Structure 1
Amino acid sequence: MGLLDFNRYATIKSVAESMLDAALLMSNATQLFGVIEQGPQFKYYIPLIVLISLSLILQTVIFALLVFAAKTNVNEIINQERLKKCNQITTILAGVCLLVNIFITSLDTQKKNY
């Protein structure tokens, strides 16, 4: 059994996270279209538009950070501090995105089916 290639591991991890981010992005896009279909008469129309838009922006930034991390060689010492900060920022933004999506889900369940 060979040594673990940390660069390959980090790249695979970033790609897997990006796929999860893409799934959430599609889910939020579907929610946004659903809210727009409900129209402005829906009680939580503006808050949901704002929260879903914020989530989409966060996901775009997270995706960009993950692409940067995947393309950067973790085995090079000079990159390690930058990747560490990138990973910390990505983790914080993912946590914020999670909280935003909890609020989206709680408000989205209030939609009426016409």
Structure 2
Amino acid sequence: MLDAALLLSNAARLQALLERGPTAPYYVALTVLLSLSLLLQVAIGVLLVVIARLNLNEVEKQWRLNRLNNAATALVCIAVVLNVFITAFGAHKTGLPAARTSQNPL
């Protein structure tokens, strides 16, 4: 369920970023990071479905399940790091552009 929530959150962030357009700060970086995160999350979901379908009780499949489990763990770690960078760059849907301070003191 957490993967689904993160997937929806990243999709909403990407939509907000695309609505703001190329004038948004860090537009290209955030677009790339959000797209990579979404693709990675879909890959993790598919990998978890494959792992769930294999029978752990069959000894000859245990080595394959171990490798798939390790791959899923590594992909989840990469997804977490990507989402930390996404949050750091600040792709949030605020509704209104941030207020700018004037350079003119009057």
What is the percent sequence identity of the aligned residues? 46
Confirm whether residue 89 of structure 1 aligns to residue 71 of structure 2.
yes
Aligned match for 1:48, one of 30, 35, 45? 30
Conserved? CA contact 1:66–1:90, under 8 Å: yes
The structure with more helix, counted as a fraction of residues:
1
- Tell me the amino acid that sits aligned with residue 60 of structure 1: V
- Tell me the amino acid that sits aligned with residue 24 of structure 2: F
Q: Please give the alpha-carbon distance, in whole angstroms, between the structure 1 residues aligned to 2:52 and 2:92.
A: 39
Q: Normalising by structure 2, what TM-score?
A: 0.84
Question: Superposed, which structure 2 residues align to 1:1-114 within 5 Å?
Answer: 19-108=1-90, 113-114=96-97
Which blocks of at least 5 consecutive residues in structure 2 are unaligned? 98-106
Bigger radius of gyration = 2
The ranges of structure 1 where at least 4 consecutive aligned residues each deviate by more than 6 angstroms after the TM superposition are: none
Q: Please give the alpha-carbon distance, in whole angstroms, between the structure 2 residues aligned to 1:41 and 1:111.
A: 15
Q: Normalising by structure 1, what TM-score?
A: 0.78
RMSD: 1.6
